[in-house]
Structure 1
Amino acid sequence: QIVQITSMGVPVVDISPPPPPPVLDSFPELASADPTPILGQPVVEQVADAAPTALEVLQAATTESSLAELGLGAYTPVGLIQNLLEFAHVNLGLPWWGAIVAGTVFARLVVFPVIVKGQREAAKLNNVLPEMTKLTNRMNEAKQSGNKFEFAKAYSELNLFQKKYDVNPLRGFLVPLVQAPIFMSFFIALRKMAYLPVPSLMTGGVLWFPDLTIADPFYILPLFVTGTMFFIVELGAESGVDNPNLRTMKTVFRIMPFVILPFTINFPTAVFTYWLTSNCFSLCQVAVLKHPAIRSRLKIPEKIQHPTSALPQNEGFIESMKKGWKNAQSAQKLEERERRIKNHLDLAAKGPLRQTFTHNPLQQTPPIALAKDKDAGSKARPWKDTLG
């Protein structure tokens, strides 16, 4: 308030509003309004601009971090599996359990042609197994007796037989060599995602396992996985080769699911979701590939049921592996010897004639000198350079 004294000596109180603050001089548009709201208006507008809306808060809460932001999804086999699962979850809109199931089925469909190839090879090998067994036994007997000529003959006949019928026992390892890396990649990828953990995996399950990052609280998935593995061994073994030497391996595979159950029972449910889906796909695959019309369509030969006497005797898997390794070593030595003989013959055909006798028959030699030369020649054996 400003007090003024008039000419009559009566004080007059000036109740006019005070002038605006100097800071408003630079904002002439604000000086014409009421000072009280003017002073609070810029602060309220700044606060309103800085504060997020309810929609923005909801969107920020529901936005998932990508696997790349979490340090996953590289260009390794494990990272490619993680990228596949993320694509099914984000782009296709599937929940995590559905993405795992879809990714598993997709991977198994990709390797299905390899499975069909393995079935063809197993059927062809089964149909010619008795003849191959006879040739193999001949080769083993010749090796044990030390008859290298007979061993070479049996080995050559076996090779010609395999080429004639287009069979090779090593092709039976094609399916495990393809399936094992895929299984390990899925296993490591899902375990990394669960142990990190990926936040959305905690609510990406279904039924009694909503959290895919922890173990199954009721142990239902581990038991289902163990049971399906056992049935796969029982049913899948019939599509292979009826070889008694593989009975020991089949027995090991039968008890393997129960042996590994205590070690895998606490795995995250994300891993068991993949494992159970893969096992169910294998059971359906075995049932489909047993149908005669489908086997004919896929050009898989029909299996011939051989009598027991025509099959190889049960020597045990380990003994068979040892015998096969020794046969391979003997065959390698024989091939090396044949290669050396061929090289010497090629040198003899291209170069000058080599002397393979101890003396020149055109020259007259005294009897005593001839006897000495004969003894020296028997020790020298110059033909060893040719035969090796």
Structure 2
Amino acid sequence: MLRICTGKSAQICLNSTFRTARLRSANYQFAGASFVRFNSSNSSDPLVSKSEIQTQLPSFDETTSSAVDAGLAVSDQISQVVGEASSHVGYLSSIGMAKSWWWPPELIQNIMEQIHVYSGLPWWGTIATTTILVRLLMFPLYVKSSDTMARNSKIKPEMDAINAELMAATDMVEGQRVAMKRKKLMADNGIKNRYLAAPILQVPLALGFFSGIRQMANYPVDGFTNQGIAWFSDLSLADPYLGLQIITASVFISFTRLGGETGAQQFSPMMKNVFTVLPLLSIPATMNLASGVVLYFAVNGACSVLQTLTLRNKWFRQKLNIAEVVKHEPTPGAPAKGIIETFKENMEKARQQAERRQAMQDNEKKLQASAKELKSNKNIKIVHRSDFKKSRN
């Protein structure tokens, strides 16, 4: 409604109109739940200045942008907190890993966490360092195993003859005599075959590395996604170029052709071909594994090559008093046997030996039964002194 002011009351009328407009504006702002700050320090007017009155709601895009910015800020704070927690011992335990020191995967996770926290190494360096330390701890066992294999190679012809004699034994007494002969031969040459189990001890450790690192990559543990190196910067993803798989296959082929991890194993040409094909087949088999897992395979294989070269070195073997490997020429005229033929022959020998052992046990039981029956039929019996006194009384 438009009011027209004239005469003396013009000034009073204008003031009344302005006051009404101000009150309506304030009522509208209150009804819209919009609160404004009064600039009481800069203005003597108790009402809101025109520049501070919001006449329009913020747009949806502005509201969304503000919410996204706030969410990113919170996410950055959470990431900072997690990153700080992962640099302390106990982080893996807090997310359900590394709960014990006796189960191989959790043992490896505990060791890796200790190295990662106290050394400050990134995760790729932690995996490599842990692998190298474990191989160094097991190196003395491989030295003993290499020495045992070399001593066995020295007496191989005599041992083969004794084993053939033992396989042909049909009597329990004869078998025990041949077994004692073999034991004496090994003792005279300082052979303790228990050290041949050293490579087998690496199996639970290898499974622990594989399972432990794979669990950390699948989670993924903080830092696994950005603490890689070179072309595999994300340890939780598969190697996009299969570089780690190719390196692993190459080093495994190398150390098997050099004589295995002990440097003293003698493989036939057929077995060398098999150990060449198997690592190549491992490339497609491991192409989908996380880079952290395959990194362990590559570092472990590189350690095997260095260990093989070290144990093959004559100067090193002399310093550690490791026997030299004796290579025997194959029997002239002996036909070359393939893997399948050798396997069938060994299975047949094992079956025949089991049958002879069972026959010897049955024969021994018969002899014991006949001896017991003969003893019961004798007129003179052996009586204990206490039983004799009781019978007299």
Q: Normalising by structure 1, report the TM-score.
A: 0.66
- Give the equivalent residue in structure 2 for 1:138: 165
- Give the equivalent residue in structure 2 for 1:211: 234
- Give the equivalent residue in structure 2 for 1:85: 112
Instruction: Rate the CA distance shift 1:153–1:224 in 2: closer, same or farther, 3 A.
Output: same
Contact 2:82 2:222 in 1 (8 A): no
CA–CA distance in 1 between the matches of 2:149 and 2:313? 16
Instruction: Rate the CA distance shift 1:84–1:218 in 2: closer, same or farther, 3 A.
Output: same
Q: How does 1:290-309 map to 2 (within 5 A)?
A: 290-309=312-331
Instruction: Rate the CA distance shift 1:57–1:114 in 2: closer, same or farther, 3 A.
Output: closer
- Give the equivalent residue in structure 2 for 1:267: 289
Q: How does 1:117-132 map to 2 (within 5 A)?
A: 117-132=144-159
Instruction: Rate the CA distance shift 1:93–1:148 in 2: closer, same or farther, 3 A.
Output: closer
Deviation at 1:225, TM superposition (A): 0.8
CA–CA distance in 1 between the matches of 2:316 and 2:334? 30
In structure 2, what residue type is equivalent to 1:271? V
CA–CA distance in 1 between the matches of 2:194 and 2:273? 21
Deviation digits for residues 124-167 of structure 1 (CA, Å, limit 9, x no counterpart): 11111111112223344x36xx6888666545533443344344
Instruction: Rate the CA distance shift 1:346–1:112 in 2: closer, same or farther, 3 A.
Output: farther
CA–CA distance in 2 between the matches of 1:103 and 1:290? 25
- Give the equivalent residue in structure 1 for 2:93: 68
Deviation at 1:322, TM superposition (A): 1.5
For the aligned residue pairs, the C-alpha RMSD in angstroms reads 3.7
Q: Does 1:240 align with 2:264?
A: yes
Q: Normalising by structure 2, report the TM-score.
A: 0.65
CA–CA distance in 1 between the matches of 2:267 and 2:274? 15
Deviation digits for residues 246-286 of structure 1 (CA, Å, limit 9, x no counterpart): x5544432211112221101211101211111111111111
Deviation digits for residues 274-332 of structure 1 (CA, Å, limit 9, x no counterpart): 11111111111111111122112222111223222289975544135324523652564
In structure 2, what residue type is equivalent to 1:68? S
In structure 2, what residue type is equivalent to 1:122? M
Deviation digits for residues 59-85 of structure 1 (CA, Å, limit 9, x no counterpart): 536414411121111212111101111
Instruction: Rate the CA distance shift 1:86–1:331 in 2: closer, same or farther, 3 A.
Output: farther
Contact 2:98 2:109 in 1 (8 A): yes
Contact 2:227 2:235 in 1 (8 A): yes
Q: Does 1:229 align with 2:252?
A: yes
- Give the equivalent residue in structure 2 for 1:110: 137
Deviation digits for residues 322-363 of structure 1 (CA, Å, limit 9, x no counterpart): 245236525644774686589679979xxx954489xxxxxx
How many pairs were matched up? 298
Deviation at 1:240, TM superposition (A): 3.1
CA–CA distance in 2 between the matches of 1:339 and 1:205? 66
CA–CA distance in 2 between the matches of 1:102 and 1:311? 51
Contact 2:144 2:195 in 1 (8 A): no
- Give the equivalent residue in structure 1 for 2:20: none
Contact 1:114 1:175 in 2 (8 A): yes
In structure 2, what residue type is equivalent to 1:183? A
In structure 1, what residue type is equivalent to 2:242? Y
Contact 2:124 2:229 in 1 (8 A): yes
Q: Does 1:181 align with 2:208?
A: no
In structure 1, what residue type is equivalent to 2:250? G
CA–CA distance in 2 between the matches of 1:324 and 1:331? 11
Deviation digits for residues 13-58 of structure 1 (CA, Å, limit 9, x no counterpart): xxxxxxxxxxxxxxxxxxxxxx99xxxxxxxxxxxxxxx9xx9889
CA–CA distance in 1 between the matches of 2:334 and 2:95? 56
Name stretches of at least 5 consecutive residues in structure 1 with no aligned partner. 1-34, 37-51, 358-388
Contact 2:172 2:364 in 1 (8 A): no
Q: Does 1:256 align with 2:278?
A: yes
- Give the equivalent residue in structure 2 for 1:161: 185
Deviation at 1:183, TM superposition (A): 0.8
CA–CA distance in 1 between the matches of 2:172 and 2:364? 15
Q: How does 1:274-289 map to 2 (within 5 A)?
A: 274-289=296-311
Deviation at 1:227, TM superposition (A): 0.9
**Residue aligned with 2:237, SS:** coil
CA–CA distance in 2 between the matches of 1:198 and 1:100? 13
Instruction: Rate the CA distance shift 1:213–1:241 in 2: closer, same or farther, 3 A.
Output: closer
CA–CA distance in 2 between the matches of 1:311 and 1:117? 35
Contact 1:125 1:168 in 2 (8 A): no
Contact 1:248 1:317 in 2 (8 A): no
